[in-house]
Amino acid sequence: MDTVEKKQRICVLAVDGSKHSDLALKWYTENVHKSGDKVLLTHCVDHRKHLTYGSVSMVPGNPDSITHAFAAEEKKAKELMENEQADIEDPGVNC
């Protein structure tokens, strides 16, 4: 007897907390998502903005200041991912 093995689809969605990102998540849940799909949300933190001030490099600057700025960005990214995950799991998406 032939059996058809159904493979789980893994969908990777990039999020940044913007209106466009929210609309893309909504569009995915309404138009692409199928039961059994696994969704991986991803967000990249860009620390480069803390290494410059205008056109002046801060690399030789105060290491504590840069460390605190990086930690604040990481905290912000974690909160963003928690919020996005809660939003997409509401309609029953496995994330």
DSSP letter for each residue of 8-35: PPEEEEE--SSHHHHHHHHHHHHHT--T
Is residue 88 a contact partner of residue 39, using CB atoms and an 8 Å limit? yes
Amino acid identity of residue 93, one-letter, is V
Helix/strand/coil for 45:
coil
Q: What is the pLDDT of residues 51-83, one digit of tens each?
A: 666 655 656 567 787 788 888 889 999 999 998
Q: What is the pLDDT of residues 7-61, one digit of tens each?
A: 889 999 999 989 999 999 999 989 999 888 999 999 988 777 656 666 556 565 6
- Cα dist from 93 to 21, 36, 50, 71, whole Å: 16, 9, 35, 30
